[in-house]
Amino acid sequence: MATLHARRRACACSGIRRFIFARTIQEKVVDELWKAVVLGVVQGITEFLPISSTGHLIVFSALLQFQALDNTFEIFIQLGSVLAVLVYYSRELWQQVRQTPGDRRVQRLWLNLILAFIPAGMIGFLLRDWIDAVLFSPLVVALSLIVGGGVFLVVERRQPPAQAQISELLAVTPRQALLIGFAQTMALIPGVSRSGASIVGGMLAGLNRQVATQFSFYLAIPTLGIATVFSLVRRLDALNAENVLLLLVGTVVSAVVSWLAIRWLLTFVARRNFVSFGYYRLVAGASILLLLAAGILQAS
């Protein structure tokens, strides 16, 4: 009889342990999922605004203590931003694809995108491990935000008259595209901002704000798309069912918010300049430095 009671108690204890373990796992999954949603929103808002999505993701991941898939999550959910560009410009892209065989200006647009992609693509490939190991830190992000903010303020004050600027996407020259491509290489440093670097590069090359912004959006398709696929292939062994769910949730949220951000920014630049973004970058960078000084964030 005593043995029977002992077995029942053992079974009851085992059941309680399994229940507690299952609840713990469930709570962990829910916790990681809401963090993925938050980071998807951050990615969507910051990818196309010139304030650095990677920089914000590094800081928010540290604040949320989100360490899933190391840096792969931050890179992979950029796919949502690529999908947003493809959807937003779907009519224009389809029309341009159809015009490609007989329209030399459209052919030049595709050539320009290839030329603009090559510098960052090559340097990013060659230095990818060093960048991941050395530059992915809140301190680098803070300094890059501050420097980039200063650059925006200077560039906006030195803008040439509107009549001297390129005002049509198909009028961009290969030389200008290559200059934009070299400017985009600066975005390999977290906190610089891919869109910010390419927009500034476009403005310095003679494009007006609207065309520089649109070219930056088009350039996001090969740049972010190839970087995402390459990162995923390199880290397939780190994927499991839980991580795939996090990636899908983050990507879907990123896609929706990115589409909204694209629409908003195109409306914004049609009427205003980038000075406010320059000031935002200065404040954001200084705030991160304060968080580092207070010990809330770690420098690396």
The least confident of 64-73, 114-123, 283-292 is 64-73
Boundaries of every domain in the chain: 32-293
pLDDT band at 236 (very low <50, low <70, confident <90, very high): confident
71 C-beta neighbours (distance < 10 Å), count? 18
User: What is d(CA 253, CA 146) in angstroms, rounded to the nearest whole number?
Assistant: 28
- Pairwise CA distance, residues 191 & 187, whole Å: 7
19 — pLDDT class (breaks 50, 70, 90): very low
pLDDT greater than 70 at residue 268:
yes
% of the chain residues with pLDDT over 70: 87
How far apart CA 190 and CA 145 sit, in angstroms, is: 9
pLDDT in tens, 50-77: 999 989 998 998 898 886 666 678 878 9
Structure tokens at 26: 């469930």
Cα distance between residue 253 and residue 194, in whole Å: 20
Extract the tokens encoding 22. 């299952």
Closest to 48 (Cα-Cα) out of 286, 285, 254:
254
Taking residues 77-87, what's their average pLDDT? 95
Is the pLDDT at 123 greater than 90? The verdict is yes
Can you give the pLDDT at residue 183? Answer: 98
Averaged pLDDT, 125-148: 93
CA end-to-end distance (rounded Å), the chain? 61
For the ranges 144-153, 170-179, 222-231, which has the lowest average pLDDT?
222-231
pLDDT at position 69, please? 60
Per-residue pLDDT, averaged over 233-247, amounts to: 77
* CB-CB contact of 208 with 162 (8 Å): yes
Least confident of 64-68, 91-95, 161-165, 179-183: 161-165
**pLDDT value of position 62:** 87
Helices (H), 49-89: 53-64, 72-76, 78-88
pLDDT for 65: 84
- Ordered alpha helix ranges (H), the chain: 2-48, 53-64, 72-76, 78-88, 90-99, 104-126, 128-130, 138-157, 174-184, 194-204, 209-234, 241-269, 275-293
pLDDT at residue 103, rounded to an integer? 96
The DSSP string of 79-101 is HHHHHHHHHHTHHHHHHHHHHTT
- pTM metric for this prediction: 0.88
- The pLDDT, as a whole number, for residue 16 is 53
CA distance 275 to 216: 18
Q: How is 85-144 classified by DSSP, letter by letter?
A: HHHHTHHHHHHHHHHTTT-HHHHHHHHHHHHHHHHHHHHHHHTHHHIIIII-SHHHHHHH
pLDDT category of residue 298 using cuts at 50, 70 and 90 = confident
State both tokens at 78.
């950029």
